[in-house]
Homo-oligomer: A and B are copies of this chain.
């Protein structure tokens, strides 16, 4: 990991004073591992994306899936928020369905709607359409990460994958769903097929993370966007083992693993136990409550409500300070939002949040 990363940054402007360009000893990695830090690291879920005019420009006329498959474009989009906001981590620009497309699933990402799968997977026979992921199928990701690690210098790159349950929901429903009715029917109605499906998805998800780590990512985040739609007992029985397998694929890399889902207040301990060093916390639960539920065993990431970025600055200022104070009770704290950046967010407000976190958390 550190060999590639020790190449000095070429972009320059976004890490003004590179002294020791070693992202594996960055603030983010140390906070994630519960080691002392000089100040709290900060990045934003969906920091690379529609809130940035430079992103909207570069995406003009380029489809979402296509944009994730071009190394130069991935690198540029990933770097944009690092340059602009001075965040303490880059997150690989990708989409959770990218590895599914890579193994040959016929899908598209429809603007305003999300991923749409041509033929949903709902039976054992359908599993044949889901072969293993091998690194050569996502060579564009290896290439993008290599480019990024060279550019980023000491700024760590967070690798990214969707968790098996969320991937399964897209595949089984055929697209985004609020009820997850087909997914839950399969899970409960044919547990054998369910577990086989999720085992395949864990291989795909884990391998997608492993490719990024091998190419130089300094941390990974496994997103289980929809896990919050499950009662805890179902999460534990039907989902957690597969998330654990995905996270296990990079267990021996020695890099921190962040695990996040929306509306997962009931599931935090289970998500940590799946094999994370850092549990991402949704904005609905206070970090203090989260630390309690995690029995102080994990670092936490979060959790400013992204909608609060539309409020006047004094409101944001107060919330940032409260979250930093609450995060101090955890073994480690990475400041983030409690969900992704909303498209209409004023990017200048994000920059200001980064500055405030840096200023307030200075030790």
Name A residues whose Cβ lies closer than 8 Å to a Cβ of B.
Answer: 179-185, 188-189, 228-233, 263, 265-266, 283-286, 289, 305-308, 310-312, 315, 342, 344
Say yes or no: A184-B228 contact (C-beta < 8 A), given A179-B306, A266-B285. no
Task: Give complex CA distance A232, B233 in Å.
Answer: 24
Residues of B within 8 A of A231 (CB): 283-286, 305
Is the CB–CB distance between B284 and A228 below 8 Å?
yes
Task: Give complex CA distance A285, B230 in Å.
Answer: 9
Say yes or no: A284-B230 contact (C-beta < 8 A), given A188-B308, A266-B265, A310-B181. yes
* Copies of this chain: 2
8 further A-B contacts with Cβ under 8 Å, apart from A180-B307, A263-B263, A266-B289, are A183-B307, A185-B307, A188-B315, A189-B312, A189-B315, A229-B284, A231-B286, A232-B286
Is the CB–CB distance between A184 and B308 below 8 Å?
yes
Is the CB–CB distance between A311 and B265 below 8 Å?
no
Task: Give complex CA distance A265, B306 in Å.
Answer: 20
Residues of B within 8 A of A266 (CB): 265, 284-285, 289
Residues of B within 8 A of A185 (CB): 307-308, 310-311
Is the CB–CB distance between A344 and B181 below 8 Å?
yes
A sample of 22 cross-chain residue pairs with beta-carbon separation below 8 angstroms, ordered by A number, consists of A179-B342, A181-B306, A184-B305, A184-B307, A184-B308, A184-B311, A185-B307, A185-B308, A185-B310, A188-B308, A188-B312, A189-B310, A189-B315, A228-B284, A229-B284, A230-B284, A231-B283, A231-B285, A231-B286, A233-B286, A263-B263, A265-B265
Name the residue on B nearest A185 (C-beta): B310
Task: Give complex CA distance A286, B315 in Å.
Answer: 35
> What is the distance, in angstroms, from A268's C-beta to the closest C-beta of chain B?
12
Name the residue on B nearest A264 (C-beta): B284
Is the CB–CB distance between A310 and B182 below 8 Å?
yes
